Chain A
Amino acid sequence: MSIARRVRLKTYMLIVLMVAFGATGDVLLGKGMRETGGIALSSPALFIDGIIRGFHNDLVWMGIFSLIFFFLCYMLVLSWADYSFVSPASAISYAVVTFLGWMLLGESVNSTRWLGVLVICLGVFLVGHTPTRTTPEIE
């Protein structure tokens, strides 16, 4: 396998991991925070109280760990790939989350949202066909 091909494959793999950890983290954190009553934004005291209650929930912690792994993958992929490649490419998560919600949770998805999913996939497809790195390696 050529070096360029290997780097591209490595980039795709880390973006897949980012999407998986990011989406899982968001879902767990959202579920956990709703279980503990959510965060009130009406006053700073209630806000902090909401966050502290969140920390007593296992799902919240699992979500936080998942998001830490997301950020680690993000850091790693940015050590070689362009930001202007990784950032739009990771928007595929909107499409994945919509699709999984529809398939696994039976959420209803209207035609506007399906069109959005299609347009995102098209955009990511285009970005995916540009070079993963356009800057020279600095040492």
Chain B
Amino acid sequence: MRVWILLAIVVLAGTAGEISVTRAMKRIGEVHQFNPRALLKVLGRAFRIGWMWLGLALLAMAFFSLLALLSWENVSFVVPLTALSYVVGALMAKLFLKEKVDRIRWMGVLLVVVGVVLVWVG
């Protein structure tokens, strides 16, 4: 039971964390300049946005849950299941970021999940 709870935390917190980071970066807007000075400025702005910190906290939570999970279960059991994150991610992006996930993108996401599972099971 605790394995499934931790797995849910890895997938949900990990995806929610990346969605939060996306939200922060979308608030900054498209980055056009890539010189070190401009990039430092972008970083400075990013870390003044609450979503960025929430995202990092959620990602840290997912990371440590993954470590705990790996102490009980095999990598080849855990990683294929975390591939579900791609589906959860597309759903959350649709719901919380209002991204339009069309049929082609859904098919691509599902193929990626199947592919990752095959690579790890093989």
Residues of A within 8 A of B (CB): 7, 39, 41-42, 72, 74-76, 78-80, 82-85, 87-88, 91, 94-95, 98, 109-130, 134-135, 137-139
Interface string of B32-62 (1 = CB under 8 A from A): 0010000100110010000000000000000
Interface residues on B, range: 35 or more
B118 touches A78 (CB 8 A): no
Which residue from B43, B98, B122 sits with its C-beta under 8 Å from A113?
Answer: B122
Which residues on the B side are within 8 Å of A137 (C-beta)?
A: 29-30
Interface of A is mostly: helix
**Does B2 reach chain A (CB closer than 8 Å)?**
no
- Measured in the bound complex, the distance between the Cα atoms of B42 and A40 in whole Å is 38
Tally the A-B contacts, defined by beta carbons under 8 Å: 155
Which residues on the A side are within 8 Å of B113 (C-beta)?
A: 123
Residues of B within 8 A of A (CB): 18-19, 21-22, 25-31, 34, 39, 42-43, 46, 67-68, 70-71, 85-86, 89-90, 93-94, 97-102, 104-105, 107-122
- Measured in the bound complex, the distance between the Cα atoms of B71 and A76 in whole Å is 33
B108 touches A130 (CB 8 A): yes
A116 touches B94 (CB 8 A): no
B102 touches A130 (CB 8 A): yes
Nearest chain B CB to A80 CB, angstrom units:
4
Contacts A91-B86, A91-B112, A116-B122 given; indicate if A126 touches B105 (C-beta within 8 A). yes
Which residue from B31, B86, B115 sits with its C-beta under 8 Å from A119?
Answer: B115
A72 touches B27 (CB 8 A): no
- Measured in the bound complex, the distance between the Cα atoms of B104 and A4 in whole Å is 19
Residue of A nearest to B118 (CB): A116
